[in-house]
Structure 1
């Protein structure tokens, strides 16, 4: 048996050019390197970063028993290739949008990033939305910055504590919001936590995840789930559901960048049997290839969803 209430939205994978520069950036955002896997025979390494301070949600948890991890994939040699640049998903062809970090005092947090020499796609003062910013990591992936505290009360606060930050959500664009929401609810057991309509701009945001429901009212007047980790934000641009064929880029066909999201489960074999019964579209079954302890499923837009064993519940065969 498998219990979807024990599932976790474990990580989001991004390909990077220079792992030293990327790890340094995410550490500056308060994250810690909680695991690293080296595959010299296959010429790539994986770096797993998460919030791991005493103030974090999952301090000292096994890496498979967390939400809000960022996995950086480095293919050997890219750091010395002048022509290599990961695709950030916001330039054409679009698909993946961003990861998001929620912070204590957003003005001070953004200044700290700027003072360290990091760039912004959108600063707080840009545009109409003065409660969010978008930083750029070394590969130009967008990192949304949102506030956990009321924005109007932190304007004159000069201190920020990165150990309190959260890796709040990962955003992907979807063609048909009804199809995608039903899929993540029915197949992966996620729940719709919050909806944010932006009718004037022609899009709506849907936030799904595990765990308790998000409060309906917001502490900061903007985002009632800013203190959460491990949310999946689906962005639906009005009218895309009427288009023929595939609308969005999965990040794994060229040009590559974003790779996948990952859900950890209580019983990997039982979960995969349940997925089979649900009629999912497999990219890789457990029995395929050499790695018998990971599976990959394709969602309705073709995004890859990795499925792994949560070691808290059961020892997975072999080493991931």
Structure 2
């Protein structure tokens, strides 16, 4: 039962994941690893022709080997105390030249917006993204009165906001 102290999710829930559908698993994995995310594990569902790839910013020394049974890797993943990015790859989409997912930022289908990362040096991050051949769709600059931001795009054209982190507030 939810209380005003815990909410519907109970005590100390973990924001576990955000999921994006991807066309090409290899291209997406290379991109998210270039951002600094760490590959955790993959779940394959042959009967449904798709795979799930999980990444996190945390470098976790307890990541199970891919040779471990999927059930054991799932049990491990669902015990992580940090958020993950789940990339869902429907097999064969990488071979369809015209295939694309809606990124949620264009009509029809506008709704989903972006994921975001706080970064220590926004300008250097954007330069590194461009140097690696990826798209910076909004150059670093101020946004209203909330700080400096930029937007980059992943291989499936999902928007990723980069936010200049602020110095820690003094207590």
Asked if Structure 1 and Structure 2 have the same fold, meaning a TM-score greater than 0.5 normalized by the shorter chain, the answer is yes
Unpaired runs of at least 5, structure 1: 151-217, 220-320
Are the counterparts in 2 of residues 14 and 73 from structure 1 also a CA contact under 8 Å? Answer: yes
Residues 80-229 of structure 1: pairs in structure 2 closer than 5 A:
80-92=95-107, 93-125=109-141, 131-149=148-166, 219=169
Query: C-alpha separation between the residues in 2 aligned to 1:5 and 1:31?
Result: 28
TM-score, with length taken from structure 1: 0.43
Give per-residue Cα distances to partners, 1:161-185, cap 9 Å, x unaligned: xxxxxxxxxxxxxxxxxxxxxxxxx
Distance 1:60 1:106, change over 3 A: farther
Query: C-alpha separation between the residues in 1 aligned to 2:139 and 2:33?
Result: 20
User: Aligned-pair distance for 1:68?
Assistant: 2.6
Distance 1:52 1:85, change over 3 A: same
Are the counterparts in 1 of residues 14 and 83 from structure 2 also a CA contact under 8 Å? Answer: no
Query: C-alpha separation between the residues in 2 aligned to 1:142 and 1:5?
Result: 32
Give per-residue Cα distances to partners, 1:202-243, cap 9 Å, x unaligned: xxxxxxxxxxxxxxxx74xxxxxxxxxxxxxxxxxxxxxxxx
Query: C-alpha separation between the residues in 1 aligned to 2:61 and 2:14?
Result: 15
User: Aligned-pair distance for 1:127?
Assistant: 7.3
Distance 1:95 1:80, change over 3 A: same
User: Aligned-pair distance for 1:106?
Assistant: 1.4
Match of 1:67 among 79, 82, 93: 82
TM-score, with length taken from structure 2: 0.77
CA RMSD of aligned residues (A): 2.4
User: Aligned-pair distance for 1:67?
Assistant: 3.1
| Runs of 4+ in structure 1 over 6 Å off | 126-130
Query: C-alpha separation between the residues in 2 aligned to 1:114 and 1:37?
Result: 31
User: Aligned-pair distance for 1:101?
Assistant: 1.2
Distance 1:90 1:40, change over 3 A: same
Query: C-alpha separation between the residues in 2 aligned to 1:18 and 1:111?
Result: 24
Give per-residue Cα distances to partners, 1:94-149, cap 9 Å, x unaligned: 11100111112111111111111110221114876871001000000000001224
State the aligned residue count.
148
User: Aligned-pair distance for 1:60?
Assistant: 4.3
Are the counterparts in 2 of residues 52 and 60 from structure 1 also a CA contact under 8 Å? Answer: no
- Helix, strand or coil: the match of 1:25? helix
- Helix, strand or coil: the match of 2:97? coil
Unpaired runs of at least 5, structure 2: 64-75
Are the counterparts in 2 of residues 10 and 67 from structure 1 also a CA contact under 8 Å? Answer: yes
Distance 1:59 1:149, change over 3 A: farther
